[in-house]
Structure 1
Amino acid sequence: MIEVKIDQSMVEDICREEVQKRLDKAEFDMVMWDRNELVRRTCMSWSSIQRTFFYDPNFPKVKLGGKWYFPAAKTTQFLLDYLERMEGA
């Protein structure tokens, strides 16, 4: 019988480091995201986004006319920080 033990926090740290490495290397192809792009990038519905972090005072957003826009780099960093804060909660 084979037994495998995994240190969950170590796996999370490794994943976080790898994601950050790829983000550091990636060039943002968009300066701003619209609502549909935010939904796509987070894999969340618009109502879920509104319930979880949209109204956070630190969430970067700009309303131009009747449409919301989100600066790509700042939004990405906010989302990474938000996930880290929620892990510790």
Structure 2
Amino acid sequence: MFNISLNEDELKKLYLDEIRKRVDDIENQMALIDTKELCKMLSLSRPTVEKLFIYNPDFPSMRVGKKWLFNRKEVEEYINRWSIDVRKKGGSVD
């Protein structure tokens, strides 16, 4: 005879961890993101994102009608390079 006991808190944690992994996978599969998603990704307000990135001709963006779209992978690569450059210059952005 087998006796199986489950810790409900641990089971809930495992379940939520797996859901988070799957949501992250889905988000990473999205090739294009819009301005709202970009702001969320960078944890910055829209005016800050516009000032620092959107109107910068080097930033990987495209305008489709009135909407700005961004390739997620290109944005991640750009932000990695940008953050390294910011840190080299003292770590402060005005």
Larger Rg: 2
* Counterpart position of 2:63: 63
Q: How many residues matched?
A: 64
Structure 2, unaligned runs of 5 or more: 1-24, 90-94
Give the AA of the match of 2:46. W
Q: Provide the C-alpha distance between the structure 1 equivalents of 2:66 and 2:75, rounded to a whole number of angstroms.
A: 19
Query: Per-residue deviation at 1:52?
Result: 1.8
Tell me the SS of whatever aligns to 2:29. Answer: coil
Query: Per-residue deviation at 1:50?
Result: 1.6
Query: Per-residue deviation at 1:53?
Result: 2.5
TM-score by length of 2: 0.62
Q: Provide the C-alpha distance between the structure 2 equivalents of 1:87 and 1:57, rounded to a whole number of angstroms.
A: 21
CA root-mean-square deviation: 1.6
Tell me the SS of whatever aligns to 2:63. Answer: strand
Tell me the SS of whatever aligns to 1:69. Answer: strand
Tell me the SS of whatever aligns to 1:56. Answer: coil
* Counterpart position of 2:78: 78
Q: Provide the C-alpha distance between the structure 1 equivalents of 2:86 and 2:54, rounded to a whole number of angstroms.
A: 14
Larger relative contact order (Cα-Cα within 8 Å, sequence gap ≥ 6): 1
Query: Per-residue deviation at 1:60?
Result: 0.3
% of aligned pairs identical?
A: 22
Tell me the SS of whatever aligns to 1:44. Answer: coil
Q: In the alignment, is residue 42 of structure 1 matched against residue 47 of structure 2? A: no
Q: In the alignment, is residue 88 of structure 1 matched against residue 88 of structure 2? A: yes
Tell me the SS of whatever aligns to 1:58. Answer: coil
Deviations 1:9-42 (A, max 9, x none): xxxxxxxxxxxxxxxxx78221001011001000
